[in-house]
Amino acid sequence: MSSQLEILTKKYLASGIVQTVNYAEFNRIAITHHSTAIEGSTLSLTETQLLITQDITAKGKPMSDHLMVTDHYAALLYVLDEAKRKMPITPEFLKQINAFVNKNTGQIRNTALGVCDDTKGDFRLGNVSAGDTYFVNYDKVVPMVDDLCKQLQQRISEVKELDDIYNLSFDAHFYLVSIHPWFDGNGRSSRLLMNYIQAYFNLPLSMVLTEDKADYIEALKESRKVETTEPIRNFMTQQYIKTLEDELEKFEGRNKGINFLL
């Protein structure tokens, strides 16, 4: 873990950014924008903000993109509320996150093995792939998710150092998206689980920036290839540093650039 990230985290928390009026809301909007844009939403950050805060839809943009955004925002609010309550990480909790993510865009799927309802967070009853990546067989999803939840709960009870907490959140994201328990919403749900753990420990929430999507996917692939979370940990650490530095720079320069020409 980079000592730079630890220094930036402490500086960020001490800066007063978090106490700024409307900051928390805009931060949630930014997380929603980037997470949905990675999955194909065409709404800009400004369009996302107008949709969430004023219910203004973007001209010429698909309604499905708007629904993806509002569903994600509702899912994020749910995750943050449950973090305050210290909700244990269980398969049912993960299903609920995914149900929020897919509330208005999910499908009811009739498979050879039974009915699978995205809007209820049902685990997939079939095999899936994304690009050139094939995920675990459907019959391994339930036992693997059960085991992941138990391991995450154990680590939550043990972590003390800042770097351990960050690594736990990054690992949780990586392992859940690598199991790919659902037909849809795996990336969004996994990043929300990462945010849940960060909120659980009252840390700033991280996001994967849209412009770094290709590097993000490569980091996930590399971690699977070498069978270690180091590549995705390193990528997420750099994303965290990048976003914290950007926010601190904007906050510290908030009084600059105003010249009265009277």
pLDDT of 174 reads: 98
Alpha-carbon span 130 to 197, nearest angstrom: 26
Do 35 and 177 contact (CB within 8 A), yes or no?
A: no
Residue by residue, pLDDT tens for the chain (262 residues) are 558 888 999 999 998 888 887 889 999 999 999 999 999 999 999 999 999 999 999 999 999 999 999 999 999 999 999 999 999 999 999 999 999 999 999 999 999 999 999 999 999 999 998 888 899 999 999 999 999 999 999 999 999 999 999 999 999 999 999 999 999 999 999 999 999 999 999 999 999 999 999 999 999 999 999 999 999 999 999 999 999 999 998 888 877 766 767 6
Do 158 and 100 contact (CB within 8 A), yes or no?
A: no
CA atoms within 13 A on the CB side of 73: 21
Instruction: State the burial class of residue 200 (Cβ atoms within 10 Å of its Cβ: 0-12, 13-18, 19+).
Output: buried
Specify the pairing of strand 133-134 against strand 129-130: antiparallel
pLDDT of 150 reads: 98
Alpha-carbon span 65 to 167, nearest angstrom: 31
Domain definitions of the chain by residue range:
18-248
CA atoms within 13 A on the CB side of 202: 7
| Alpha helix ranges (H) inside the chain | 3-15, 23-38, 45-54, 63-84, 91-101, 138-158, 162-179, 186-200, 213-226, 230-252
pTM for the whole structure: 0.95
pLDDT of 2 reads: 59
CATH architecture of 18-248: Orthogonal Bundle (1.10)
Alpha-carbon span 218 to 215, nearest angstrom: 5
